Structure 1
Amino acid sequence: MKQKQGHDEITIIKRRSKKGHEEAHSGAWKVAFADFTLAMMALFMVLWLVQAMKVEQEAELRKSVGSPIWEGGAGIFDGSSPLIVEPVSAPPPVALTEAEYERSIDSTQHLGQASLAELKDLAVLMNDMAVEVGAETNLQVEVVPQGLRILVKDDQDRFMFQRGSANLTEHFHGLLTRLASVLGRVDNKLIISGHTDATPYRSNAGYNNWNLSGDRALRARNVLVDAGLPAHSILQVTAQADGVLLLPEQPESGANRRIELLLLTTHAETLYRDLFGERSAQVHFSEQGADYRSSAPETL
């Protein structure tokens, strides 16, 4: 802006201050940064809570499935070095109330010769029974093509048999007794097999793991029969020693010590009888030579 004063000209320059704009801009970024910081704190808090809940849930899951089995150094069948073995078992079902359990028992009073589908229902009943007696870590039930496979095994606190013997402990005696009541609901035949780990039996009297596994299987058979399971329901009692290990990569692990019950389907029983029974094809040897006799019925 120019003003004239006489002959002289005076130039006046006015500069507009931007202080207010700068102050407003400066305050806005501070507010935005504060909001961002608060959001990040909230995010970290949520992540921390989620992680804490995840750790707690995993701990509860491990507790429900069963703690690891600590093997080694406790008895003559334990390995030479300690090792941790995760139990081979499925997560246990939700425990039933006493009334619900009794109703489930009543609903399967007798199934006769159960089909594979009915054996699946029986597996659920067995798992419920195991929860009732506090033995969910000692019983593993699975459906296989041949029928129902039932594993009775140790856990970290309880052993099925006293070390080096066929003396059944009280907890497992009760478990087999209750199991007999469930097995008695069907007419399917049963095969019982005893299993040990691969640690040699320390005896010079000729008694070995074959004898031990057979004696233990026979002991389990006697308890089931004494508890009311018909003797004719048991088709075979067999010794397996360490021939069929649950953990082949850890042959001396205590997880391999168990009693297995195989509840056969009708088809599996027929195959068994064809293999071992009189209907199987046989070769008879005599001075006249070999005489092959077929299992097929003669036709007229």
Structure 2
Amino acid sequence: MSRKNRHEEHEEHADESWLLPYSDLMTLLLALFIVLYAASSVNISKLEELSKAFDNAFSSGISILDKSALIEAEDEQNKSQKQRHEEIGIRTQQEKLMAQEQEDLEKLKKELDQYIDKNGLVTQLETQLNQSQLMITIRDNALFASGSADVKPTAQKLAVAIGLMLQKYPDYEVLVSGHTDDHPISTSEFANNWELSSQRALNFMEVLLQNQAFDPKKFSFIGYGEYRPVDTNDTEAGRAKNRRVEVSILRKYTDSSATNTVLSAISDEANSAPSTTTSN
């Protein structure tokens, strides 16, 4: 009986306290292994993306210099587009000005034609609108006596009437040109047709400029003599057509080359003189 009691006493008092620190140690080791595994785990997809990014940067991708060139090309393209837009805007504005000019000149021509019809001047005056100018042609017998550059009193009234219509459009350049036939002349006043046609153009321009609404800087004159006939000089009717004064209202926005040709004629022909003297 004593032996049995001693055995039960031994089982009741067995020391098992070591299990607690052992379990704690095992828990810590497990946590350590989990942390180490997590730290060593690699995201394969992210690694592949990173690898591709480096490959592009150092091989087939856009380098820093390439990127700079790309930026410059883009800036150049933007600049070119801006310039095209500005050019389109300028052309649009130019087209509007051209349309307004065409409307102005057509309106002026209509007013001149109505004046000509109303006053029975169809055989003396004529208007023509083309790509460079609106031209008013006046036969010389309506303006001057034969061989003279003095504007007739009745013609001065005509000049005043034309001026009143022109003054509504003061921004246009006006060129007054004189023309004669090919009959020779040599008088104490005029040595040749060149001088006669020039003086006639000047005198008629001066009558127009009596209108204070005009700016003289926009007016010029030239004498062509017999060198720009509009008909034959072999008949009296043809010579009568060639003796004329033309008042040209020059366009500003259309066919600039034609306008420049008209204006350059002032200097080109004024610097040359005919070798023979001819008359009206």
TM-score (norm 2): 0.51
What is the Cα deviation at residue 117 of structure 1?
A: 3.4
Alpha-carbon shift at residue 230 of structure 1 (Å): 0.8
How far apart, in 2, do the equivalents of 1:132 and 1:226 lie? 24
Match of 2:92 in 1: none
How far residue 206 of structure 1 moved from its aligned partner, in angstroms, is 6.5
Q: Distance in 2 between matches of 1:257 and 1:194?
A: 8
Secondary structure (helix, strand or coil) at the match of 1:152 reads: strand
Q: CA deviation at 1:233?
A: 5.9
Equivalent residue number for residue 172 of structure 1? 155
Matched residues, percent identical?
23
**Match for 1:210: what amino acid?**
W
Cα displacement (A) at 1:205: 7.1
Partner of 2:109: 123
> Distance between the aligned counterparts of 2:261 and 2:149, measured in 1?
32
Tell me which of 229, 241, 252 is aligned to 1:266.
252
Structure 2 equivalent of residue 162 of structure 1: 145
Map of 1:19 onto structure 2: none
How far has the Cα of 1:215 moved from its partner? 0.3
Residue 193 of structure 1 deviates from its aligned partner by 0.3
User: Higher Cα Rg: structure 1 or 2?
Assistant: 2
Report the CA distance shift for 1:268/1:203 in structure 2 as closer, same or farther (over 3 A): farther
The equivalent residue for 1:200 is: 184
Aligned to 1:185: 168
What is the count of residue pairs matched by the alignment?
164
Residue 259 of structure 1 aligns to a residue whose secondary structure is: strand
RMSD of aligned C-alpha atoms?
3.1
Structure 1 spans left out of the alignment, 5+ residues: 1-110, 278-300
Any conservation in 2 of the 1:247–1:255 contact (CA below 8 Å)? yes
The counterpart of 1:219, out of the listed 203, 216, 230, is 203
The 3 A distance-change label for structure 1 pair 115 and 242 is same
Q: Which residue of 2 aligns with 1:140?
A: 126
Q: Relative to 1, partners in 2 of residues 1:263 and 1:230: Cα closer, same or farther, differing over 3 Å?
A: same
Change (3 A) 1:123 1:275: closer
Once the 2 structures are TM-superposed, how far is the Cα of residue 184 of structure 1 from its aligned partner?
Answer: 0.9
Between the aligned partners of 2:222 and 2:144, the Cα distance in structure 1 is 17
Higher share in helix: 2
Structure 1 residue 274, shift from structure 2 partner: 9.5
Instruction: Name whichever structure is richer in strand by fraction.
Output: 1
Residue ranges of structure 2 left out of the alignment (5+ in a row): 1-96, 265-280
Of 196, 207, 225, the residue aligned with 1:241 is 225
In the TM superposition, residue 131 of structure 1 has moved relative to its aligned partner by 3.1
Structure 2 counterpart of 1:28: none
135-144 or 237-246, which moves further after superposition?
135-144
The CA distance in 1 between the partners of 2:106 and 2:249, in whole Å, is 11
Deviations along 1:88-128, one digit per CA (max 9) or x if unpaired, are xxxxxxxxxxxxxxxxxxxxxxx9x9512331121110011
Looking at structure 2, the residues matched to 270 and 264 of structure 1 have their Cα atoms a distance apart, in angstroms, of: 10
Cα distance, 1:134 vs structure 2:
3.6
Q: Note the alpha carbon deviations across 1:226-267, whole angstroms, 9 max, x for none.
A: 134513363421010001112135376222111001111113
Q: Do the aligned partners of 1:176 and 1:220 also contact (CA within 8 Å) in 2?
A: yes
- Is 1:256 aligned to residue 242 of structure 2? yes
TM-score by length of 1: 0.48
